[in-house]
Amino acid sequence: MDFKNAIFIIVASIVLLTSFSGCTESDSTTSNETGEIVYATIQTNYGNMTFELYPDKAPITVENFKKYAESGFYEGTIFHRVISDFMIQGGGFTANGTKKETLDPIKNEADNGLSNKRGTIAMARTNIVDSATSQFFINTVDNSYLDYQNDQNYGYAVFGELTDGFDVLDKIENVATANNGQYQNWPVEDVIIEKVTIDPIKK
């Protein structure tokens, strides 16, 4: 498998990825067509990032993310994998490298027509199509090659898009990283997710 064509959840047996470059935050992915707009704010020690989520396009994924957020699961987890000109990944490890216990994996909704453009948030997974749990990544460039192609190249499910906090995304993307035991691209200084809040707003 070409390591440039996959986003894997970090486990001991998985080799991590290299990076790519792409487009800017001015690209828009979609608009929410339901009667509810759902926002999620990821509060970090580098600042806050707010996303519009798309329950109309990725209902299973959005509901899964909301469960983790509203239960407090993400509090104290970190962005454990940061690759400049590619993406930042978090939502599964604490600062000491402990992997948190998760809910059951969910169905991959990568075939929803959303693209892995700069500023979009998507689910990380192993090489098993329906293996996403809590970990997510935020595209820092246009990574459209990660989109659904076919059942053999299923891609990674986008479920929202950054609306505020591109400066925070850029700061995190450019932190210094190093190998941390078996893990590569681990930030030298912790990038901590302090809280994730969900804010549904009726149209």
Question: Distance (Å, rounded) from C-alpha 139 to C-alpha 190?
Answer: 19
Give the pLDDT confidence score for residue 126 in this predicted structure.
98
pLDDT of the chain, 203 residues: tens digit per residue: 444 445 655 443 333 333 333 333 334 344 455 567 999 999 999 999 999 999 999 999 999 999 999 999 999 999 999 999 999 999 999 999 999 999 999 999 999 999 999 999 999 999 999 999 999 999 999 999 999 999 999 999 999 999 999 999 999 999 999 999 999 999 999 999 999 999 988 55
DSSP secondary structure letters along 62-79: HHHHHHHHHHTTTTTEEE
Sign of CA dihedral 186, 175, 86, 59: positive
List, in order, residues 6 or more apart from 157 with CB less than 8 Å away. Answer: 58, 61, 108, 109, 110, 112, 114, 122, 123, 132
Contact 158, 37 (CB under 8 A): no
Question: Distance (Å, rounded) from C-alpha 89 to C-alpha 19?
Answer: 13
* Assigned fold of 39-202: Cyclophilin (2.40.100)
Sign of CA dihedral 153, 156, 160, 166: negative
